[in-house]
């Protein structure tokens, strides 16, 4: 069975409460890592595995933004179907409402805010060869109580799954990528909502095991990143830049500037009297003037940074940063934000922050 016989299902719904205030106005799956929406990494991963028929779960709040972003990404040979999930009632609930789209076709389910370094094609091939009811990805983690956790027998078969257990039986967390046959729908119909009021995908997979179905697993090599929180997203940005950033200068750099290390500079961007220390990725039509841009920084299109220092941060599009004393670091700045200070005046801060924001003055 070729990969094209499988469908893809990406979960891009939910409310993204852990990334607020940014996700009051945008979907968490559209927040950029290395200047590319997280959702695009999931889409690219499925296409690289030969899957060209993809369903995307969306929410009422951010569905239109997701549709617009996917339209900008979508190659002509890819078929996209959007599936509305009215309420975030769990991952298994998302699979359940996708049944009319998926029908009886085996599929890859991909959480839209997860990133992995490994290609998923080997996982797809293993799933097709072994003909298991489900195939899951696992990764050893330091804090398994924060995840769904798998217990394996001596033959490395999955024998038990628990969702965020207080006393985990292993350190193997479920990565947000799963492969299922249509057996998963019967399993979902047999489970009840958890204490959180959600249909848990771990409970559904456990139901497969309980009913005697074969559930296989594969240990992830390389990194796995869940970008659900601000610090997680900054770490993802750091790791992706470290792994993939290459020197590519399409804009202009004047003779008074220095480019050090691996730096990507987009079209129409001007670097003037500044130092850029990579790995750094700067988008299109930006202006960097009399500033220092330090490692692990991504700067979105149409952003201006003047007489300021930035390091280990993510700026979305259309931002303006000017005349800031000290250094902006470990920061996540949303679209169209302006952070300025009048020159030759004492440092004072006038802030307009969204709900649930955190400000640290160090």
pLDDT given for residue 357 in this prediction: 44
Per-residue pLDDT averaged across 229-254, rounded?
90
- On whether the CB atoms of residues 57 and 9 are closer than 8 A, the answer is yes
Sequence ranges of the chain with CATH classification 3.90.550.10? 3-240
Minimum mean pLDDT range among 10-14, 229-233, 310-314: 229-233
329 φ/ψ angles, rounded to the nearest 5 degrees: -145, 155
Q: How confident is the model at residue 228 (pLDDT cuts 50, 70, 90)?
A: low
Per-residue pLDDT averaged across 3-16, rounded?
80
| Adjacent-strand bridge partners of 84 | 58
Q: From CA 233, how far away is CA 38, in angstroms rounded? A: 10
Give me the residue label for tokens 């979305």. Answer: 316
Query: Which of the following CATH numbers is that of domain 3-240: 3.20.20.120, 3.90.550.10, 3.10.580.10, 3.40.50.20?
Result: 3.90.550.10
Per-residue pLDDT averaged across 301-323, rounded?
92
Average pLDDT of every residue of the chain: 87
Per-residue pLDDT averaged across 53-80, rounded?
92
- On whether the CB atoms of residues 29 and 36 are closer than 8 A, the answer is no
Sequence ranges of the chain with CATH classification 2.160.10.10? 245-340
This prediction has a pTM of 0.87
Question: pLDDT by residue (tens digit) across 70-96?
Answer: 999 988 889 999 999 998 889 999 999
Per-residue pLDDT averaged across 251-266, rounded?
97
Per-residue pLDDT averaged across 48-61, rounded?
94
Minimum mean pLDDT range among 134-143, 240-249, 295-304: 134-143
pLDDT given for residue 347 in this prediction: 56
CATH 2.160.10.10 is right for the domain spanning 245-340? yes
Helix axes 183-190, 201-210, angle to 10 degrees: 100
- For 166-175, b where at least 16 C-beta lie within 10 A, e where not — what string? eebebbbbbb
> Smallest Cα–Cα separation from 41: which of 195, 244, 273?
244
Helix axes 63-73, 38-48, angle to 10 degrees: 50
Q: How confident is the model at residue 310 (pLDDT cuts 50, 70, 90)?
A: very high
């Amino acid at each position: 069975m070729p990969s094209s016989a499988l469908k893809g299902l990406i979960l891009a719904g939910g409310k993204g409460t852990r990334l607020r205030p940014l996700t009051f106005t945008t979907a968490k799956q559209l927040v950029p890592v290395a200047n590319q929406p997280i959702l695009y990494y999931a889409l690219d991963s499925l296409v690289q595995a030969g899957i060209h028929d993809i369903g995307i779960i969306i929410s009422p709040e951010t569905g239109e933004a997701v549709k617009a972003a996917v339209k900008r990404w979508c190659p002509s040979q890819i078929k996209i179907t959007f599936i509305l999930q009215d309420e975030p009632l769990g991952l298994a609930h998302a699979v359940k409402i996708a049944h009319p789209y998926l029908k009886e076709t085996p599929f890859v389910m991909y959480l839209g805010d997860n990133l992995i370094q490994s290609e998923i094609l080997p996982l797809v091939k293993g799933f097709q060869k072994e003909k298991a009811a489900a195939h899951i990805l696992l990764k050893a983690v330091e804090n398994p109580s924060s995840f769904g956790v798998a217990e394996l027998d001596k033959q490395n078969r999955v024998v038990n799954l628990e969702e965020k257990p207080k006393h985990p039986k292993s350190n193997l967390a479920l990565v947000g990528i799963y492969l299922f046959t249509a057996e998963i729908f019967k399993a979902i119909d047999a489970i009840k909502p958890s204490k959180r009021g959600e249909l848990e995908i771990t409970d559904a997979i456990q139901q497969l095991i309980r009913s005697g179905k074969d559930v296989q697993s594969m240990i992830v090599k390389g990194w796995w990143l869940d970008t659900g929180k601000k610090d997680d997203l900054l770490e993802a940005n750091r790791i992706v830049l470290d792994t993939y950033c290459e020197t590519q200068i399409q804009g202009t750099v004047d003779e008074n500037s220095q480019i050090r290390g691996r730096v990507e500079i987009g079209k129409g961007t001007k670097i003037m009297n500044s130092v850029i220390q990579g790995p750094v990725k700067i988008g299109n039509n930006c202006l960097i003037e009399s500033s220092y841009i330090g490692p692990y920084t991504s700067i979105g299109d149409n952003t201006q940074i003047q007489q300021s220092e930035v390091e280990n941060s993510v700026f979305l599009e259309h931002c303006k940063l000017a005349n800031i004393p000290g250094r902006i670091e470990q920061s996540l700045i949303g679209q169209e934000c302006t952070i300025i200070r009048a020159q030759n005046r004492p440092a004072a801060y006038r802030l307009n922050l969204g709900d649930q924001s955190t400000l640290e003055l160090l």
